[in-house]
Amino acid sequence: MDSSIDKLKKENKPKAKHIFVLLAVCLILLVVDFLSSGMSKKAIPSLQPSNQSTNSSSFSETFDSLKLNEVGKMKESSSLDWWLNSGGFLYSENGIGKTFQGNVPEDNPWYKIYLKSNPRDTDNGSHPQNIFRLVTRNKWQNLSQQSYFEINANNFSKSKYRDESNGLLLFNRYQDGNNLYYTGIRVDGTAVIKKKIKGNYFTMAQKIIYEGKYNKKDNPNLLPMHTWIGIKSEVITNPDDSVDIKLYLDSDRSGNWSLVLTAKDDNSEYGGEAIKNAGYAGIRTDFMDVQFDDYKIEEIK
């Protein structure tokens, strides 16, 4: 005869098996739910430009509701796409991105911060936008980058750093503030491609675009006011490890891009080795109130 313990074991075998099956099914359902929820979260960036994936081959900023305060480190930025490195504040209005416009009120925190930290370049804190630096949080290798710029006002600061090299510029392969390529147009009316390496600037190519004679006091900005100007750059590493850089302009926002400047970094000039690593992109403006539209990046395959 079976002992009471043996009977209990026989009676519980089917139940134990049933419980094991239920547990397995529950585990499978939990895994499926976890994976599906993860996939849905990853799908969100493709719908919202401010949360795009760092692995995307393209990016566009619609400036629908973007508001950014300057922060000291990229990881501290409230945006997954942008880091405002300098300039105090970026905001959007009717689908247009804007630096501070006009004098910053004295009760604004950025007025007080810049009055203390950099009165020289910001007119005693009134114009933090004089040194505006907006950097993407995604890195790009071979890229086509574009944005439209409109100058609303000039800020004729007494700073010694307000000079003919100021302008509307794009960052390319930005490793850090001391190592990158610049492309854009300067207040002296020239288009320029520059390299900054270890903090030193090298002009790679330059050409007159807007006629006139620059003078810091009497004719300090030859760029057109209240006009949308498109600036586009292409940066590509060649099989021989040289880097080709092209600058295009759309001077009247007609959609027609004109190639105005080219440069090649062949590792023998401009401070030595070309910048071949993927880097950040972005926008720089100097001593102006500026607004932005139609910012785009495409990875060139």
- Rounded distance between C-alpha atoms, residue 195 and residue 171, angstroms: 10
Count of other CB atoms within 10 angstroms of residue 215: 11
Per-residue pLDDT of 59-118, as tens digits, reads 999 999 999 999 999 999 999 999 999 999 999 999 999 999 999 999 999 999 999 999
Per-residue pLDDT of 141-198, as tens digits, reads 999 999 999 999 999 999 999 999 999 999 999 999 999 999 999 999 999 999 999 9
- Rounded distance between C-alpha atoms, residue 153 and residue 150, angstroms: 9
33 has pLDDT over 90:
no
The whole-number average pLDDT for the span 51-66 is: 77
**pLDDT greater at residue 218 or residue 51:** 218
pLDDT for position 56: 74
pLDDT for position 301: 87
Query: Domain limits of the chain?
Result: 1-47, 54-299
What is the reported pTM? 0.81
15 has pLDDT over 90:
no
pLDDT for position 299: 96
C-alpha atoms less than 13 angstroms from C-alpha of 225 in its C-beta half-sphere: 8
Q: Categorize the per-residue pLDDT at 26 as very low, low, confident or very high, splitting at 50, 70 and 90.
A: very low
In which residue are the tokens 């001391």 written? 178
CATH topology classification for 54-299? Jelly Rolls (2.60.120)
> Quick one: what percent of the chain has pLDDT higher than 90?
81
**pLDDT greater at residue 20 or residue 102:** 102
41 has pLDDT over 90:
no
Q: Categorize the per-residue pLDDT at 1 as very low, low, confident or very high, splitting at 50, 70 and 90.
A: very low
Exposed/middle/buried for 17, CB within 10 Å: 0-12, 13-18, 19+? exposed
**pLDDT greater at residue 46 or residue 243:** 243
pLDDT for position 291: 98
> Quick one: what percent of the chain has pLDDT higher than 70?
82
211 has pLDDT over 90:
yes
273 has pLDDT over 80:
yes
Nearest alpha carbon to residue 281 among 56, 99, 66: 56
- Rounded distance between C-alpha atoms, residue 138 and residue 280, angstroms: 6
pLDDT for position 140: 97
Structure tokens, 42: 């990853």
Distances (CA, A) of 281 to 1, 155, 219: 83, 25, 31
Tell whether the torsion through CA atoms of 274, 277, 282 and 286 is positive or negative. negative
